[in-house]
Amino acid sequence: MVRWSIAAALLSIATPALASAERPLVLAFGDSLTAGYQLEPGLGFAPQLQAMLRRHGIAARVADGGVSGDTSAAGRARLAWTLDGLGEQPDLVIVELGANDMLRSVDPAETERNLDAILAELKRRDIPVLLAGMRVARNADPAYIRQFEAVFPALAAKHRAAFYPFFLDGVAAVEGMTLPDRMHPNFRGVKEIVTRIAGPVKGALGR
């Protein structure tokens, strides 16, 4: 039922009849950080990014492919049906996964395998990618920090994908930018994320 609901929501945003070179389709494929966790409809990452791009003169449609709680393994498992559920091939996929791997202390090698498979499938389908990196809390084991954070730039280079180093740049640990849990961005936090990532998204769309 959950998967059907997500697919229906994606289809409500993008259908083949709407496909146009002038109206590119962007898929935000991630976890709660892109899903607008605890935010009112219209205030999450996908709708705010769509509004920002349109203010910049790009009539993009941004589909919300975020699922709260997803690890890189869960994202890998649902990638194909998420893409097929869109009804058309996206012009760009923003891959934002790994935060839940980090919170669960998943072996960075496993995170790397899952993200590598996701990027390989997107490459196979000839879909451009913007890979968003994730960072680890500074009080974590230094070896884990190095291994985990190295995964993202290495994979971006391997797959020649556009790379945004830290999805929560300007928001993580910044007062007034997160929900009370101090992890998820509030409306202001999402707005800051969108402001900072809009340029790289425009660049990736123009590749």
Tell me if residue 141 is catalytic.
no
Flag whether pLDDT at 3 surpasses 90.
no
Is 184 an active-site residue?
Answer: yes
Among 5, 12, 126, 181, the active-site one is 181
Query: How wide is the angle at C-alpha 115 spanned by C-alphas 110 and 121, nearest 5°?
Result: 130
CA distance 43 to 102: 25
Q: Considering the candidates 32, 70, 72, 91, report the single residue annotated as catalytic.
A: 32
Q: How many CB atoms lie within 10 A of CB 82?
A: 21
Q: Is 161 exposed, middle or buried (0-12, 13-18, 19+ CB in 10 A)?
A: buried
pTM above 0.85, yes or no: yes
Side by side, the strands of the sheet bearing 92-96 are 61-66, 25-30, 92-96, 129-132, 162-164
Q: Are strands 92-96 and 129-132 parallel, antiparallel or unpaired?
A: parallel
Helix (H, G, I), strand (E, B) or coil at 25: strand
Catalytic residue check, 181? yes
- Burial class, 92, CB count within 10 angstroms (exposed 0-12 / middle 13-18 / buried 19+): buried
pLDDT digits (tens, 9 = 90+) for 8-63: 444 344 333 334 457 999 999 999 999 999 999 999 999 999 999 999 999 999 99
